[in-house]
Amino acid sequence: MRESTGTGLILGIESSCDETAAAVVRGGSAALSNVVASQMSLHANYGGVVPELASREHLRNVVPVVREAMARAGVTFDELDAVAVTEGPGLAGALLVGITYAKALSFGLGKPLIGVNHLEGHIHAVLMEARQRLEAPIPLPLLALVVSGGHTHLYLARQSGEATWSYRNVGRTVDDAAGEAYDKVAKLLGLGYPGGPWIDALAARGNPRAVPFYFGQIKPRPHREGISFPNKKAPAVTAGPAFNFSFSGIKTAVLRYVETHHMRERIEARRAALAADTTLKPGSEAVAALCDAETLDLIASFQYAVVGNLLRQTFAAAESFGARGIVVSGGVAANSELRRRFQAEADRRGLPIAFPSLALSTDNAAMIAAAAWPKFVAEDFADDDLGATPQLRLGQT
Ligand code: KG4
Ligand code: ZN
Whether pLDDT at 128 is above 70: yes
pLDDT digits (tens, 9 = 90+) for 157-191: 999 877 789 999 999 999 999 999 999 999 999 99
Q: What are phi and psi of 33, to 5 degrees?
A: -155, 160
Q: How many whole angstroms from its chain centre is CA 294? A: 31
Atom 19 of ligand 1: nearest residue by CA position: 196
Mean pLDDT across 361-375: 96
Shortest-distance atom of ligand 1 to CA 178? 12
- Residue 358 Cα to ligand 2 midpoint, Å, equals 13
Kindly state if the Cβ of 88 falls inside 6 Å of ligand 1: no
Mutate to test the pocket of ligand 1, among 49, 122, 182, 309 (most ligand atoms within 8 A of CB): 182
Would you place residue 228 in the very low, low, confident or very high pLDDT band (cuts 50, 70, 90)? very low
Distance (Å) of CA 328 to CA 117, 136, 285, 352, 356: 17, 17, 30, 11, 8
**Ranges 112-126, 146-160, 235-249, 380-394: which has the least confidence:** 235-249
The residue-averaged pLDDT of 185-204 equals: 97
pLDDT computed for residue 241 by the predictor: 74
Mutate to test the pocket of ligand 1, among 198, 362, 363 (most ligand atoms within 8 A of CB): 362
Residue 50 has pLDDT above 70, yes or no: yes
Q: Please give the share of the chain, as a percent, with pLDDT higher than 70.
A: 91
- pLDDT bin (cut points 50, 70, 90) of residue 239 is low
| Phi/psi at 209 (5° precision) | -105, 10
Cα–Cα dist 285/288, whole Å:
5
Please tell me if the CB atom of residue 149 comes closer than 6 angstroms to any atom of ligand 1: yes
pLDDT of 219: 52
By most ligand atoms within 8 Å of CB, the mutation choice from 40, 148, 281, 392 for ligand 1 is: 148
**What is the band of 236 on the pLDDT scale with cuts at 50, 70, 90?**
very low
- For the Cβ of 89 lying below 6 angstroms from any atom of ligand 1, the answer is no
Indicate the average pLDDT of the chain. Answer: 91
Ligand 1 mutation pick, 17, 40, 332, max ligand atoms within 8 A of CB? 332
Nearest ligand, CA 247 = 1
Ligand 1 contact, 14 CB (< 6 A):
no
Is the Cβ atom of 90 under 6 angstroms away from ligand 1? Answer: no
Q: Which amino acid is at 102?
A: A
pLDDT band at residue 8 under the 50/70/90 scheme: very high
For residue 74, the model assigns a pLDDT of 98
Among protein residues, the one with the nearest Cα to ligand 1's atom 7 is 149
- What phi and psi, each to the nearest 5 degrees, are found at residue 388? -80, 135
Measured from the Cβ of residue 191, the count of other Cβ atoms closer than 10 Å reads 27
- Between 220 and 360, name the one with better pLDDT: 360
**Is a pLDDT exceeding 80 seen at residue 32?**
yes
- Average the pLDDT over 194-207 and give the result: 97
Cα 232 to ligand 2 centroid, rounded to whole Å: 22
Residue 364 has pLDDT above 90, yes or no: yes
Buried b (16+ CB within 10 A) or exposed e, 6-42: eebbbbbbbbbbbbbbbbbbbbbbbbbbbbbbebeee
**Structure confidence at residue 216 as a pLDDT band (50, 70, 90):** low
Per-residue pLDDT averaged across 72-83, rounded?
98
Give the angle 166-169-172 at the CA atoms, nearest 5°. 155
Ligand 2 centre to CA of 352 (Å) is 23
395 lines ligand 1 (CB under 6 A): no
Q: What is the mean pLDDT of residues 248-261?
A: 96
User: What pLDDT does 237 receive?
Assistant: 44
Asked if residue 230 has pLDDT above 50, the reply is no
Q: pLDDT tens digits, residue range 293-323?
A: 999 999 999 999 999 999 999 999 999 999 9
User: How far is the centre of ligand 2, averaged over its atoms, from the C-alpha of 119 (Å)?
Assistant: 7
Ligand 1 center to residue 135 CA distance, Å? 26
Write down the pLDDT at residue 43.
Answer: 65
Determine the pLDDT at residue 223: 44
pLDDT band at 135 (very low <50, low <70, confident <90, very high): confident
pLDDT (tens digit, 9 = 90+) per residue, 323-336? 999 999 999 999 99
pLDDT of residue 242: 83
Distance from Cα 360 to the centre of ligand 2, integer Å: 10
Distance in angstroms (rounded) separating the CA atoms of residues 175 and 362: 21
What pLDDT is stored for residue 3 in this prediction?
52
